[in-house]
Structures are given as C-alpha cells and as structure tokens.
Structure 1
C-alpha cells in the first residue's frame, strides 16, 4: 500500500488532500528519467524551449483563479496575495522564455593566425530543487524557468505543507507540451530526498531555498560529487527609518514588507531601526495602521493577515514575543493569538513591540511571523552597524529623502537586496539573493540563468 501524508488548511485544520509519498526507488527512477531526457532537451533549439516556456506562462495565467485558490487553501495567505503570487511566478517563466534566446558565446582573438578560439555556453545538466512553503509557486518557477530555458531538465521537491501548488504547476507544464521527463516532482521526507539528490551522480546542480542550517548541510553533501549549488537562505532584514524620511511612505512600505504573508517571508523586515527624533511620530502612525489589519482565513474579504503555517512556526513567534516582554519590551499592538493545536490552526495578531533592546532574541533570530520590533538610534553609523550586525545579508530597507544620506546608507549595507524608499524590491527582472550566510548565487534578472550554464572553451588549430 502506498504511504501518504496529509495536506491541511492552516486556517481551519481541515484535510485538503492525501498525497502519495515517493519511495527511494521511485525517486531514483524519476532522476534516471530526467537524466535520459537531458540528452534531447539540451539539444532542443532555444527558440523551441522559449515557445514552450511561453505556453506554460500563458497556461498559468489562464488558470490563475484555480492556482490562487489552491495556494490559499494549503498555505493560508490571503487570496489577493495568492493571485499576486501567481502573476509573479508566471512572470519568471515569461522572463526566462526570452532569456533562453540570449545565451551567447564569443570569439577570442588568437595570438597566432593558425588558431581560432571560441567560448560556448551549455546546460549544466539535470537540476534538483528543494523549495519552501511560503511561496509555493514563485519559489519553483524562478528555479525551473531558467533551468529549462538553459536546456537543463528539472526535478522539484516541494515543502510537505504546500505540495499541491507544485503538483499543479508541473501538470500545467506537461499540458502545454513540455515533456513529462523534462520536469518532474517528488514528495517524500526532506532528509531522505536531500541525501538522494546530493549523492546521485546524475544530478549536476542543487538549487535550494530554505534555512541556513539545511543549506549548509546540502552544500556539504554536494561537495562529494562537486555539484553546482545555488542557495537562497535565511535573512534578518533591518528597516532603517532615517530622520529625513517621509513618514507616510515609510509606514506604508514597512507594513507591506513586514506583514506580507503574515510576516512569513525571507526578506520581510525583522528589525525596525528608527531615528529617535521621529520615533514617536512613526511609531504612532505605524501602530495605528497595524491595529487596523484584519486577521482571518485568506478566503475572507478584507483579510490582511492569514494563519501561521504550523505549530512549529507559531511556537517560535510566541517564544520571541514572550522573551522580549520578559526583558522589558512594551506591546503597542497585538501580542495575542487565536490558536488551537488540536484543530490545527494558528493565528497571530499583528504585533508591534516598542522599547526593544539588543539582548532580545527577536533582534538576532529571524521571526517568520507578524511581529515588528522597534528600536531607536541617534547617528546613522550606529544604525548601519546594528543593521550589519548579523551573519545574514539577504535584504535590507531604509527610508530617507536625503540623497547624500541615502547613497551612504546603500553603499554601507552588506546585503544582496536593498530597498531605498521601497518595501517590495523583488522583481523578475532583478537579481535576487544574499551575501554572507544568506546564500550563494542569484535568481531572476539576467543573472538568473547563469547558474544553469557551463562555459566551454574551444581552441581550433587551422
């Protein structure tokens, strides 16, 4: 009998579907299939791959309502956010459908007349990807689209909390004519799949989005066969509100950054560093706006904050709030919950913490929840030091209308993504990725296809 696992609605705890667990034999069989398919897919013309990717994009748009409803059911995010993610995810496919036709080589002037020197680019090989639950569609397409565009075949292991979106995306790819053996999915225990992916000789690249500890483990395991790796790992994003900031703009974008997907994003603001001269004005406006956010199931009209994905995530958020309160933090909004472990749902009301100090866990650990801690600074170099005082370097934000101050802050923040007066800098045409322990490589933009390509140099004697 085939083993299964339950996929439940995090807003209600209700069972959505039972999903079959792939055996090790089945996983190895699928890897063998993408390995065999690589030989033909990598030789398909760039134009043909581009057309198929564009058809996949169009199919996603055609099925936007279905995909969004599925995503909200298994992930919990508000339906409007899910619809936005479908468009965002499809955008990566559209972008790399065009980039498939722009994988260029070059000629090098030889030092003698009896040689010709060529540089070509070719697909790295079969790719295995492991993605998280917080963006069930976008985290897949920004890996699958450049892989397929480059001529790689692709196998995905989605998060067990949200596998249904991944399954449907792969089905849609097959429906438009992308061969079944070119893009596959597997569902099984993460540790088991990770070991198979990293040890299998046919897998030439691992692409992972998730926690830094797991990313480090996958990198170590991949070293034995010298696989290519792309890692988009944890973050602890600071958000600086400078004394020259437009307060209304800062509040609007801080809300968008902090509370999108109930704060369950790797790039959401985790620490708000506000200049002491404007702290009271900013905090009052921000707290008022947070207090007005509606919490509930993502299918309800006007809901801004959906449920936390599971009990593990809920427990971490509560522990951080309790730790901050025990050390003197003041709760300005939220700090309350609607949770039932037996029924399987966990809601955290959007929370603002004031008088936060550096000894609190929330200032050093990624929250992944709707909690905004506020602290103050007096000099901009102090804010930059606090912002950089972390092993992570994924995303950072700051708000100032002073261009000299802005350039200084931007140039001194050690982060791969910096939003200046912008709480939502991520875009399909821009590179996404972090510095330090936040990862290796970039996704999106013209940089996004590079990790899926090998460089070959050909020297011809004539």
Structure 2
C-alpha cells in the first residue's frame, strides 16, 4: 500500500523532489513507514508563481467543468475507499472503522461542492432611485493557501479544496508534517480526475513557516484557510494583516456536553461515546467537558464507565479495534499531563487514567469524576480519550458552565424538552449545537465556531462563499 503512494512534492501538477526528506511514522508501532520530500523555500516560491499564473485561466473554466472534476474525484474516492482508509490508519493511527467513515465524509465534500459550482449566483435589479440598474456578481477570491491538520488528514483537505476548486481558485496545500501521505494521495487522485496542471500544489514540509511565510508575504495570494490550534491561528491572522488577505480559521475547541435529567439516558450515553471517542478523542469537536444534572449523574457515570472500559484498544488495522493510538508521544504526554493534574487536584478515575504499556502511543479510555473547577482539563482541550464529568443543578448553571470558556466551536445537549433544547441551544455561545446527537459534522451544513474557535464556515451553502468576492456594477441608463 505505502509503496504506491506518492512521496514527492506536487508542484503545479508535477511530482518532484524537495530539499531533503523526512520520516512518516506509524503511531501504533512507532516504526517508520516511509520518507517524504521536504519542501524548500524555492519550491514554495515556484508554487506561488504557478498558482498566480494559472488563476485567470482556471477562474474562466466553466463551472460545470469544475463541478464534473469534483464529481469524478468523489467517484474515485468512493471506489478506492478501502485503500485510502488503510493509508490513513497507518499514518494517523485511527481505527479502520474511523478511517472508513472519514473517507465517506471527505468524499462527500467533493460531491456537495460539485453541485455548488453551478450555483454561484448574483443578482440584477433596478436602482431604487431610478436612473440605472445594479448588477451584482461573485468571482473567485484568487490563489489560496490551505493549511490542514493531522487529525483528519483527508477530510480537512477536501473540505477546503472542494469549495476552492468549485469557486475557481488555484490552491497551495500545506499538509501536516505528521500525516502528509493522505494529501499527496489525494493530489494524485485529483489529477486523475482531470484537475488541470497549475491549479494545485501540495507541499509537505518539516517547517510550516517555511511554507506559510513566503506564501502569505505575497500580496497576490488572496486567501488563507487554516485548521489547527488557536495559538497558531492568531499568528497566521497577524501575517495576513499587511496584505489584508481573507482568512478562514477553524481553531481549538472545548466542547461542553450538557445532560439534563429528562433526557433519554440510553441515547445520551450513546451520544456521549460518539462525541467523545470519535477519532480517539483527537477532534476539535470532541466533547471535552461533561456537565450532568445532579439527579442522573451517578447513573450516567456508571453507564459511561461501562461503555468506555469495554472499548477495545489496539493497532487500528486489527479487527474489532475501536480505539487506536494517539498520534505521537507529545500528544500522549499532553493527555497524561492533564489527567494527572486533575487526579492530583482530587478527581477520581472510574476507568483508565493512565497510558498503556508497550509500543505505540496508547492511552486507556478514561472517565473522571469529582473534577474540581480549577482542573486544567476543564479549560484546555485534552485531545484524547478522556471524559471529565462535573454536575449542575439548574438550567442557568448549565448554560454558565457551557459558556465559561474562551472557545465556542460546538456544544452538545441532551433533553426531551423541545423548548429547553431551543432555549439552551440559543444561549450557548458556539457556532454549532448537537441536540440529542453526538455527531454534528455534515458536508451540507456550515461547520465553524465563534470566539477563540475562529471564524468563517466550511461546508454547506456557506462554504463556497468563503472563496468568492462580491462585485457590484452600476449600470447607467443609455441615452
């Protein structure tokens, strides 16, 4: 499988070597999978020139043609889903079940935006004051830099590339150093689907700034879309300020999970496992804090503990594995640090609470109770298979706990009361709310957050707007 995956740079449609190579590791075995080309600054500058040179031609390509390329890419991804899933499991660690689900989710962005490509609309209207007409059109924003994370190495690429290609923008993609193979494989697939040379470059690199610095310093690059930490996002926004480049920022999360006493507990426990354990907990939309109404807290903890403790942990390629390794030693150590801090402050682990012995970066699925308010795990994104539980008594208290964070990506709430669902859903300060479900991601819906979780939306009808500029033409009456 690995032997057939490209490992060179993809510069404007051509494969080439970089200035060196770096290793890609299997987090389940700690063994090297392969080496990948490392982009030099000269490669980056050439990719910029190619993106700029091809922008006008690509923008003038008929929308239907752009859409058909995306449609063919969706078909190829669907046909090759098993191989693509295996590749993702090997380089990122998630189970094959998780990887298969990501392939389906990722491919759906290409199908969705293949249809949106032909729905880029404007308007024509009479000037209300008389004396002419108004013509409003939408045009591609221009060449883009797309920076993708390691936790969803395929879906975060298609979620950005889908609307960029549909809108008529050329693009440079910087994939995460830990997981470059999925994006390189996607570049080959897009080329096979008919994407013209010059539209896309993919530049793996051991230095993110070596790519982003020269690209964003060039005023001809008109947009940045970034998924990653809030800390890095703030720095990138600053870099975009001198050239006033448009930015979409999908940043950190600290998702609250609110469980009210009238909820269906079976549904809530299932939703909790989904919201927490998807992608080993390494997800910006993973439930990070469980706030449970006091009267049902004991039963919920017992049932959640039973579910979490029964999950099979192992290498993602093994049959029946539900929880794979964390992506690297640094990520595992961060989880250890946050859990140990909570335990030292008085929390109790009803299951897990420690890393697993042996090769691979494994951490046991963990449930924490009696978590004190000053525990770091309630403030920081744990990005691992850990569920800290606290209690509340009133609805107002639940909303206060949910909003007591700088982040605002997603919240989950479970209740049978429709009025409460709407009332609390509108009160929480997040860009998305899952009501009686632990899964909110959908290619047809706008994905994104507020506050320190970023701005802009990906997916849905809103997703393509991030890649379009609005132009107004004032048409005078002819004499």
Measure the CA separation in 1 of the matches of 2:415 and 2:209. Answer: 44
Measure the CA separation in 2 of the matches of 1:77 and 1:326. Answer: 30
Secondary structure (helix, strand or coil) at the match of 1:118 reads strand
Q: Please point out which of 380, 385, 406 is paired with 1:391.
A: 406
Moved over 6 A (4+): none
Q: CA deviation at 1:201?
A: 2.1
Q: Please point out which of 467, 470, 475 is paired with 1:452.
A: 467
Q: Please point out which of 85, 94, 98 is paired with 2:102.
A: 85
**TM-score, with structure 2 as normaliser:** 0.94
Measure the CA separation in 2 of the matches of 1:27 and 1:181. Answer: 14
Measure the CA separation in 2 of the matches of 1:94 and 1:384. Answer: 37
Q: Please point out which of 75, 88, 108 is paired with 1:58.
A: 75
Measure the CA separation in 1 of the matches of 2:243 and 2:375. Answer: 41
Q: CA deviation at 1:121?
A: 0.5
Q: CA deviation at 1:116?
A: 2.2
Measure the CA separation in 2 of the matches of 1:242 and 1:113. Answer: 57
Q: Please point out which of 231, 244, 263 is paired with 2:262.
A: 244
Tell me which residue corresponds to 2:345: 327
Measure the CA separation in 1 of the matches of 2:307 and 2:333. Answer: 25
Q: CA deviation at 1:380?
A: 1.1
State the Cα deviation string for residues 8-38 of structure 1 (Å, max 9, x = none).
1000011111001111001110111111111
Measure the CA separation in 2 of the matches of 1:99 and 1:170. Answer: 21
Q: CA deviation at 1:409?
A: 0.9
Secondary structure (helix, strand or coil) at the match of 1:281 reads helix
Moved more, 196-205 or 280-289: 196-205
* Superposition pairs of residues 194-233 of structure 1, within 5 angstroms: 194-233=212-251
Measure the CA separation in 2 of the matches of 1:261 and 1:21. Answer: 27
Tell me which residue corresponds to 2:332: 314
* Superposition pairs of residues 390-409 of structure 1, within 5 angstroms: 390-409=405-424
Tell me which residue corresponds to 1:174: 191
Question: Is 1:192 aligned with 2:210?
Answer: yes
Q: CA deviation at 1:113?
A: 5.5
**TM-score, with structure 1 as normaliser:** 0.98
Question: Is 1:41 aligned with 2:58?
Answer: yes
Q: CA deviation at 1:194?
A: 2.0
Question: Is 1:376 aligned with 2:391?
Answer: yes
Relative to structure 1, is the Cα distance of residues 260 and 113 closer, same or farther in structure 2, using a 3 angstrom cutoff? closer
Measure the CA separation in 1 of the matches of 2:285 and 2:110. Answer: 22
Measure the CA separation in 1 of the matches of 2:344 and 2:126. Answer: 68
Q: Is the 8 A contact 1:241 1:399 kept in 2?
A: yes
Tell me which residue corresponds to 2:12: none
Relative to structure 1, is the Cα distance of residues 262 and 117 closer, same or farther in structure 2, using a 3 angstrom cutoff? same
Question: Is 1:25 aligned with 2:42?
Answer: yes
Q: CA deviation at 1:112?
A: 5.8
Q: Is the 8 A contact 1:136 1:158 kept in 2?
A: yes
Secondary structure (helix, strand or coil) at the match of 2:124 reads strand
State the Cα deviation string for residues 66-95 of structure 1 (Å, max 9, x = none).
111100000000001101111100000000
Q: CA deviation at 1:339?
A: 5.0
Question: Aligned-pair RMSD on alpha carbons?
Answer: 1.1
Measure the CA separation in 2 of the matches of 1:167 and 1:434. Answer: 28
Q: Please point out which of 344, 349, 366 is paired with 2:364.
A: 349
Q: CA deviation at 1:202?
A: 2.2
Q: Is the 8 A contact 1:257 1:269 kept in 2?
A: yes
Measure the CA separation in 1 of the matches of 2:264 and 2:24. Answer: 44
Q: Extract unaligned runs of 5+ from structure 2.
A: 1-17
Number of residue-to-residue matches in the alignment: 459
